[in-house]
Chain A
């Protein structure tokens, strides 16, 4: 029998899936109504996605009182394909709940944005339906507590995202979309291998059983973690496996970029925490220095590339590489502080970069160019947009008091706490990378908003439309809210992380 809260988990997947099917069936003559229907379904899903936050852990307990390394707040376990050891096992805990809410929010904003603005290339209702399918895949990934199920949902997003980029993207969209899909599939087949090795060795794919238990030998854990780390590093993306990202972002339509940066990348970092660290803690400990070094290289490389970058969306894409570097550095420390920093960093990046891509998309739509050589003086022609852009850029560079600060600062703090020459060095380089981040964002603002207005920027309307306010206000408010009260995200994560990391101690 399925209880109320378990039905919630099912509804989180069923509502957007149903919405997508319904929207796809609406005839072409009612395209606008179809987009409104999609937004209604996205709104329902968003409300549902907030609900798990109300179920969080009852009483704080000592870590040795936990029976498993993973104690979901809500748990739904149904048999599905016994022959493959696959169970339909869903659950929410402190690690996944904020990401689920973020996914619900960003999908809603993107669907609402699509009501007024359909990028050229295809029918708006198809785009809205694809956004809902993407949401099913992402929510499923965050909810899955079975390894094979996790893999399955991980794959769900692949083709819809390809279709979004290839159908509604810029001039070189096909090549970019193909690069995205092949890169990501290459990553996810490694995930499949890793997952199946775990299932074969441990005899189960249930994450509740696997997390923190010592069923796998150290060698197996190292092999599995290596496979999983590469798989998630492609998705996250971690330097040097990031090369698909700038192309995909540059060519993707605005909503595609927002979803890609806001939630799809999080599947990689979430997977690393939940599956990588959870199932193969010894492997994670073994690989942590390598992961940390790569993360720091990503931070510095991302920042250096951004300093030279002249394409707006490409610059934001590379800044994502740097931000995800901080997130991965936090994870690599394998400490509660570090992973909490990673979780906050995830959410902050989703909010801020989502906003940045929305703004960049609007600029590109109106001016017809993303080249920073042709864009300047935005504060004269579109002061409100320029103001918002300034806010997002400052938030992204990690100004204290805004969401971006906590993830980056505490990733560095966690690395320092970890101690030893290696981690101290990594922390210092990451801190320098943080400074470089500030440098390139200030350069970006100088180029974009200051200086004389070019003919292209004169094409910008001085005011913002209602849709734009509607889509952006929540992101701005949440950026401030998370910046002031990071506990919004971190509430409940301490418990979950103590149990997750408990086995390693």
Chain B
């Protein structure tokens, strides 16, 4: 057996990510101060992003005849940096809750950094097994993070219920995820049996006697991965899990975790012919996601369904195979930025450690927090694909443009019809933020004064403000200069 040559520079981002996790663990063990652990993790995440961008495209490593398992390209480096940035942002959003002690900081930071390591692995993966390992490393810590809610010192019945709900969300998520991984692995196995390869660059049509087997394998693989991006009909876990997990973790699930699934799918569909399965998934995902979102009354559930629908647009781009991958990645990049802002604003508007609440809980919020309101409008308009959310508009244009160019006009029609349906609920939420609450039963001279008196401002902590400020700035910059994203992902 021949050992493979290892290029350590190519692996630098992975080392940085893994070292962050270890550092978080050690810091918690030896210093045992929440601030130090969090700061170490934050710095580690930023270092990972810097490493990924500094190394950039590099020689592939872990190579064997014909294929390599670790392929540093520009899209890989950019998406790895994106994973790291999302991790840092989610950590910053979690700080107020961690300060309250709703979850043990050391474990939280360690698990989050582990998840980031998985994301980095997915970005660089050059074979199906590395891809699955990365995906599992990304997801595994999330089972715990979803349920990681220690009852606060002033334990009340409500908190106890929240902890139970979180645990049940965690179990649901875990079961669904394990099954989906098993399906994906079966798909890989069948495909390997048919073609004898696991390396992405060698994937392709199987020789004739095995074509059917390889087709089944590819379909199973896509279906297994579709669970991760919560594609309809494999989506049922997502709304409940999002709603019952802590808000920042829900943000991570709907951004980083979804991005991981998209990258994995992109790796598969660009080499194997899965157009039929993908187009069916895409149509179902966006249509069902949008229609159900119309009926939601809870904030996080609405965002969860909208995020399902958004995944549908990405799947539509991936339906085209290799030509659709740049559009899908660009869409995913714009989407995670906007989604992060949306979840960040909800986190900021709610007391630390609270869940997303009902839509009515957010009524009039923008009147008390005009800047948070503006950020939310930016995010929602972007998700709807309208100015001022230019990033979202360009995302939609790139997907629809690719679909039209590649001759999938019917799918482009489905996408744009869905964009109209989606606006109905995005605009409902945005308008709600600026609506005065329903009048109390008694007549009052100045309803606004009464409202302000009964709805004290939530103090927004500094890490949350900084995160939102950076995210909003990035959204505006890539909105005006989307070419930055398109070039980086070429």
Residues of A within 8 A of B (CB): 80-86, 122, 137, 148, 151-152, 155-156, 158-159, 162, 166-167, 174, 178, 181-182, 185-186, 189-190, 192-193, 196-197, 199-200
0/1 per residue, B434-451, Cβ < 8 Å to A?
100000000000000000
Give the shortest distance, in Å, between B471 (CB) and chain A (any CB): 20
Complex alpha-carbon distance, A248 and B326, angstroms: 40
Give the shortest distance, in Å, between B140 (CB) and chain A (any CB): 36
Give the shortest distance, in Å, between A143 (CB) and chain B (any CB): 16
Query: Are B427 and A181 within 8 A (Cβ)?
Result: yes
Partner of A83, one of B388, B412, B424, B486: B486
Query: Are B386 and A155 within 8 A (Cβ)?
Result: yes
Partner of A156, one of B387, B401, B434: B387
Of the listed stretches B107-115, B180-188, B194-202, B391-399, chain A binds B391-399
Give the shortest distance, in Å, between B338 (CB) and chain A (any CB): 15
Taking CB atoms, residues of chain B closer than 8 Å to A148 are: 397
Q: Is B9 an interface residue, CB under 8 A from the partner? A: no
Query: Are A182 and B404 within 8 A (Cβ)?
Result: no
Known: A148-B397, A159-B386. A185 touches B483 (CB 8 A): no
Please name 28 pairs of A and B residues whose Cβ atoms are closer than 8 Å in the assembled complex, sorted by A.
Answer: A81-B394, A81-B482, A81-B483, A83-B490, A151-B397, A155-B387, A155-B393, A159-B377, A159-B388, A181-B423, A181-B427, A182-B420, A182-B423, A189-B416, A190-B416, A192-B400, A192-B416, A193-B412, A193-B413, A193-B416, A196-B397, A196-B400, A196-B401, A196-B404, A197-B409, A199-B404, A200-B401, A200-B405
Query: Are A189 and B419 within 8 A (Cβ)?
Result: yes
Residue among A82, A151, A158 having the largest count of chain B Cβ atoms under 10 Å: A158
Give the shortest distance, in Å, between A158 (CB) and chain B (any CB): 6
Query: Are A193 and B404 within 8 A (Cβ)?
Result: yes
Give the shortest distance, in Å, between A190 (CB) and chain B (any CB): 7
Partner of B412, one of A137, A151, A155, A196: A196
Taking CB atoms, residues of chain A closer than 8 Å to B326 are: 83
Secondary structure of the A contact surface, majority rule: helix
Taking CB atoms, residues of chain A closer than 8 Å to B386 are: 155, 158-159, 185
Give the shortest distance, in Å, between A369 (CB) and chain B (any CB): 24
Query: Are A189 and B417 within 8 A (Cβ)?
Result: yes
Partner of A185, one of B330, B397, B412, B419: B419
Known: A186-B420, A189-B419, A193-B412. A159 touches B381 (CB 8 A): yes
Q: Contacts A84-B401, A189-B416 given; 12 further ones with Cβ under 8 A?
A: A83-B483, A151-B397, A155-B393, A159-B427, A174-B431, A186-B420, A189-B420, A192-B397, A192-B416, A193-B409, A196-B401, A200-B404
User: Looking across the interface, which residue of chain A has its beta carbon closest to that of B390?
Assistant: A152
Partner of B394, one of A84, A122, A182: A84
Query: Are B486 and A81 within 8 A (Cβ)?
Result: yes
Complex alpha-carbon distance, A155 and B486, angstroms: 22
Q: Is B64 an interface residue, CB under 8 A from the partner? A: no
Taking CB atoms, residues of chain A closer than 8 Å to B394 are: 81, 84
Give the shortest distance, in Å, between B456 (CB) and chain A (any CB): 19
Taking CB atoms, residues of chain A closer than 8 Å to B390 are: 152
Residues of B within 8 A of A (CB): 326, 330, 377, 381, 386-388, 390, 393-394, 396-398, 400-401, 404-405, 409, 412-413, 416-417, 419-420, 423-424, 427, 431, 434, 482-483, 486-487, 490
Complex alpha-carbon distance, A155 and B386, angstroms: 6
Give the shortest distance, in Å, between B391 (CB) and chain A (any CB): 12
Complex alpha-carbon distance, A80 and B478, angstroms: 12
Taking CB atoms, residues of chain B closer than 8 Å to A167 are: 434
Give the shortest distance, in Å, between B365 (CB) and chain A (any CB): 16
Query: Are A193 and B434 within 8 A (Cβ)?
Result: no
Give the shortest distance, in Å, between A279 (CB) and chain B (any CB): 15
Taking CB atoms, residues of chain B closer than 8 Å to A193 are: 400, 404, 409, 412-413, 416
Complex alpha-carbon distance, A197 and B402, angstroms: 10
Give the shortest distance, in Å, between A129 (CB) and chain B (any CB): 12
Known: A158-B386, A159-B388, A193-B412. A182 touches B424 (CB 8 A): yes
Query: Are B413 and A83 within 8 A (Cβ)?
Result: no
Taking CB atoms, residues of chain A closer than 8 Å to B483 are: 80-83
Residue among B396, B397, B434 having the largest count of chain A Cβ atoms under 10 Å: B397
Taking CB atoms, residues of chain B closer than 8 Å to A156 are: 387
User: Looking across the interface, which residue of chain B has its beta carbon closest to that of A85?
Assistant: B401
Complex alpha-carbon distance, A83 and B409, angstroms: 19
Taking CB atoms, residues of chain B closer than 8 Å to A197 are: 404, 409
Taking CB atoms, residues of chain A closer than 8 Å to B419 are: 185, 189
Taking CB atoms, residues of chain B closer than 8 Å to A189 are: 416-417, 419-420
Taking CB atoms, residues of chain B closer than 8 Å to A151 are: 397
Complex alpha-carbon distance, A81 and B481, angstroms: 7
Give the shortest distance, in Å, between B478 (CB) and chain A (any CB): 11
Give the shortest distance, in Å, between A318 (CB) and chain B (any CB): 25
Complex alpha-carbon distance, A162 and B387, angstroms: 13
Taking CB atoms, residues of chain B closer than 8 Å to A190 are: 416
Query: Are A152 and B393 within 8 A (Cβ)?
Result: yes
Taking CB atoms, residues of chain B closer than 8 Å to A185 are: 386, 419-420, 423
Give the shortest distance, in Å, between A204 (CB) and chain B (any CB): 13
Taking CB atoms, residues of chain A closer than 8 Å to B397 are: 84, 86, 148, 151, 192, 196
User: Looking across the interface, which residue of chain A has its beta carbon closest to that of B388?
Assistant: A159
Across chains A and B, which 9 residue pairs bring their CB atoms closest together, nearest first?
Answer: A83-B486, A189-B416, A200-B405, A196-B404, A156-B387, A196-B401, A200-B404, A186-B420, A81-B483
Complex alpha-carbon distance, A341 and B482, angstroms: 41
Query: Are A162 and B482 within 8 A (Cβ)?
Result: no
Taking CB atoms, residues of chain B closer than 8 Å to A186 are: 420
Query: Are A159 and B387 within 8 A (Cβ)?
Result: yes
Give the shortest distance, in Å, between A87 (CB) and chain B (any CB): 12
Complex alpha-carbon distance, A371 and B381, angstroms: 37
Query: Are A199 and B416 within 8 A (Cβ)?
Result: no
Complex alpha-carbon distance, A78 and B37, angstroms: 48
Query: Are B427 and A199 within 8 A (Cβ)?
Result: no
Taking CB atoms, residues of chain B closer than 8 Å to A83 are: 326, 330, 398, 482-483, 486-487, 490
Complex alpha-carbon distance, A481 and B487, angstroms: 53
User: Looking across the interface, which residue of chain A has its beta carbon closest to that of B405?
Assistant: A200
Complex alpha-carbon distance, A130 and B419, angstroms: 24
Partner of B431, one of A80, A85, A158, A166: A166
Known: A192-B400, A196-B400. A84 touches B486 (CB 8 A): yes
Give the shortest distance, in Å, between B102 (CB) and chain A (any CB): 36
Taking CB atoms, residues of chain A closer than 8 Å to B330 are: 83
